[in-house]
Amino acid sequence: MQQMPIADLKAVAADLAATGERVRVLWQEDESLAFVARGREYRSEFHIDPADEVMLMIEGDMKLHYRTPEGKEEIAELPEGATIYTPAGVPHSPRFPPDAFVLVIERKRRAGEIDRFQWYCENCGSLLHEEEFVVSDYALDPVSKAYARFFDSEDARTCSECGTVMPRP
């Protein structure tokens, strides 16, 4: 019989807080991926996921920044206990503090699917930089790797339109 994992979300959140880890994968199956993520001190990128996402705030509140098809930045506020559906392809940036935790459920990536992370100029709104990669295992924390590459490069953080340099967090 197929295993049916049960996760105590409050216990997982407490363990992430105690260990300082960012992400705990609950399961990764062909059609389903679930993980609990801890908030970050600073987040500025927009993730473009090739799959739909469902997010549920376990503890704390989130401001989910997202970009409309016209390129306008909007914010959806999720209080503790709230859930939101984010369709595939919508650039979104979940912003919540390190003492807050979210459950994310989505489809595991199919072969060749590409995740993208985009940063926009805080001054004029132009695209600063984009990272693309295939996420074969979400436990490898692709967000942290994309952040490191972006913030280690002043060229990536410099707007080609207005010259503003996004500071390091």
Q: What is the CATH number of the domain that holds 113?
A: 2.60.120.10
Tens of pLDDT, residue by residue over 23-82, are 999 998 888 999 999 998 888 899 999 999 999 999 999 999 999 999 899 999 999 999
3-class SS letters over 54-118: EEEEEECCEEEEEECCCCCEEEEEECCCCEEEECCCCCEEEECCCCCEEEEEECCCCCCCCEEEE
The one-letter code for the residue type at 156 is: A
In this prediction, what percent of the chain has a pLDDT beyond 90? 73
Kindly tell me if the per-residue pLDDT of 141 is higher than 90: no
Residue 109 pLDDT grade (very low, low, confident, very high; cuts 50, 70, 90): confident
Residue 163 lies in a domain: no
State the Cα–Cα distance between residues 110 and 72, nearest whole angstrom: 29
State the Cα–Cα distance between residues 119 and 130, nearest whole angstrom: 7
What is the pLDDT at residue 143? 72
- Residue 33: beta bridge partners? 28, 106
User: What mean pLDDT do residues 128-134 have?
Assistant: 90
Residue 3 lies in a domain: no
Kindly tell me if the per-residue pLDDT of 129 is higher than 90: yes
Phi, psi of 86 (to 5 degrees): -120, 110
Residue 99 lies in a domain: yes
Residue 18 lies in a domain: yes
Residue 140 lies in a domain: yes
Residue 162 lies in a domain: no
Residue 167 lies in a domain: no
Q: Which domain holds residue 90?
A: 9-157
Residue 1 pLDDT grade (very low, low, confident, very high; cuts 50, 70, 90): low
State the Cα–Cα distance between residues 136 and 100, nearest whole angstrom: 26
Residues 6+ apart with CB under 8 A from 112: 134
Residue 95 lies in a domain: yes
Name the domain count of the chain. Answer: 1
What is the pLDDT at residue 21? 92
